[in-house]
Amino acid sequence: MKTDVEQLSTYKSVHLNSNNVKTHFIGVPMIVWALMVLLSLVQLPVSIPNLDTPLNLAVVAFTGVLIYYFMLNISLAIGQIVFIVPALYSAHLVSLTTDALWIALGVFVIGWIIQFIGHHFEKAKPAFVDDLNQLLIGPFFIMAETFFMFGALKKLDDEITPLAIEKRRAFEAKK
């Protein structure tokens, strides 16, 4: 399994332009939330004592994602809990509406349009084109960038940024 430094530096190598990163702060949460809504539409035949609502696929999937994030970096995973839990709850509420599918699809498409606008600024393809695992790293990267903006995890930032620049230069040299 790749480390947090490897995953984040690969992702950051195509997210060095500040305008691209800004678009990702909007697009990535939109895409993640839309997926949560879609996955919340799939109810699982499992009942959990003292839980008023049935378990859905979103809770299962994002529990797995959180476990992966904890394996990469405990601090960032805890930060992700702060985003994921309320997002799952709001996605569940939306999944109860009759327009849930259309809302989710609309938010999903708009989120991706914003992402691709960002990559126009970057003049680089999205990270997932070469490694599908990078789809899971997008939200993790946004959380890391949030920590970095507040001066937290400076050592991690100091490790990934030079590696990202090196990876970007290596990629551009191959062109």
What's the pLDDT tens digit per position in 82-131? Answer: 999 999 999 999 999 999 999 999 999 999 999 999 999 988 877 777 76
As for how many domains the chain has, the answer is: 1
Q: Cα torsion for 115, 64, 144, 36, to the nearest 10°?
A: 40
Give pLDDT, residue 123. 80
Give pLDDT, residue 17. 95
The stretches in the chain having pLDDT less than 70 are: 51-53, 131, 175
| DSSP alpha helix (H) spans, the chain | 4-12, 18-40, 57-72, 74-95, 100-122, 134-149, 154-174
Give pLDDT, residue 171. 84
Q: At what angle do helices 74-95 and 57-72 cross, to 10 degrees?
A: 170
Give pLDDT, residue 10. 93
Give pLDDT, residue 110. 98
Give pLDDT, residue 53. 65
Distance, CA of 157 to CA of 148 (rounded, Å) = 7
Regarding pTM above 0.75, the answer is yes
Q: What contacts 142, CB < 8 A, 6 or more positions away?
A: 24, 25, 28, 29
Give pLDDT, residue 132. 74
Per the structure, the complete domain to which residue 164 belongs is given by 4-174
Residue type, 165: I
